[in-house]
């Protein structure tokens, strides 16, 4: 039964990478089977309907993003406890930009799912959930860096990060830099 969870997770991981690498229309039951290295039929067995697969993948993606954010906040707290506030903020700044490189697939999958959610009502809610998950680290970093904030400023900063990331992961723009984010968040927050 632990086995079962592992298999399910393997399928959802494969779904996310498939979403990132081949887009929504690259996600077929068979393609996910293949990407996960599981026998044909496995994905269909766990998720008979495609909408169920995508919904579960979105939830899994939300979990991943949430866990990464938890880890970030934990790391921040540790650095603050050990070396003070400045060190904590520096740590977060470094993590945030290095995460941009690490998490390209997660980001692409989020876009695909958000777009899909806006169009197919079987996926309603998925977009909101992913948006919330993706915003958490932004808000956290903003609080650290900005003098004072507001809902409008948060919208702006979240939009900024999404746009930069979108251009970056599609090869249309440079990787976000810590200077860039810090400057903007300070100017706006």
Sign for the CA dihedral angle at 108, 110, 143, 77 comes to negative
| Close Cβ partners of 29 (under 8 Å, ≥ 6 residues apart) | 41, 43, 44, 47, 50, 53
Q: Please pick, from the candidates 10, 21, 23, 28, the single residue that binds DNA as defined by CB under 7 A.
A: 28
Stretch that binds its own copies, among 19-27, 67-75, 80-88, 91-99 (CB under 8 A): 19-27
- Residue numbers 43-102 binding DNA by CB under 7 A: 44-45, 48-51
Nearer to DNA, 55 or 133 (CB): 55
At closest approach, how far in Å is the CB of 34 from DNA?
9
Q: What is the DSSP string of 73-125?
A: HHHHHHHHHHH-HHHHHHHHHHHHHHHHHHTHHHHHHHHHHHHHHHH-GGGTT
Closer residue to DNA, CB minimum distance, 36 or 138: 36
Query: Which among its own copies, DNA, none contacts residue 114 (Cβ within 5 to 8 A by kind)?
Result: its own copies
Which residues make Cβ contacts (< 8 Å) with residue 6, sequence separation at least 6?
Answer: none
Question: Could you give the C-alpha distances from 25 to 21, 172, 183, in angstroms and in order?
Answer: 10, 22, 38
**Is residue 121 within the footprint of its own copies (CB under 8 A)?**
no
Residue corresponding to tokens 């309603």: 124
Query: Which tokens go with 139?
Result: 């808000």
Q: In whole angstroms, how close is the CB of 108 to its own copies at the nearest point?
A: 8
| Binding residues vs DNA (CB under 7 A) | 1, 3-4, 7, 27-31, 38-42, 44-45, 48-51
Binding site for its own copies (CB under 8 A): 21-25, 108, 111-112, 114-119, 127-128, 131, 152, 155-156, 158-167, 169-174, 180, 183-184, 187-188
């Amino acid at each position: 039964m632990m086995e079962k969870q592992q298999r399910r997770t393997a399928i959802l991981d494969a779904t996310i990478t498939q979403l990132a690498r081949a887009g929504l229309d690259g996600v077929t039951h068979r393609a996910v089977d293949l990407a996960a290295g599981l026998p044909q039929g496995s994905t269909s067995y766990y998720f008979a309907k495609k909408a169920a697969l995508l919904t579960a993948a979105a939830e899994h993606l939300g979990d991943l993003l949430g866990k990464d954010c938890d880890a970030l906040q934990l790391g921040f707290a540790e650095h603050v406890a050990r070396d003070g506030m400045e060190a904590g903020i520096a740590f977060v700044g470094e993590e945030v930009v290095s995460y941009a490189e690490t998490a390209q697939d997660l980001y692409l999958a989020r876009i695909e799912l958000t777009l899909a959610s806006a169009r197919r009502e079987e996926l309603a809610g998925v977009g909101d959930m992913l948006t919330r998950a993706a915003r958490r680290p932004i808000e956290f970093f903003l609080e650290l860096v900005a003098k004072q904030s507001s809902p409008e400023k948060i919208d702006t900063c979240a939009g900024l990060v999404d746009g930069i990331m979108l251009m970056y992961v599609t090869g249309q723009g440079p990787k976000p830099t810590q200077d860039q984010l810090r400057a903007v968040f300070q100017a706006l927050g």
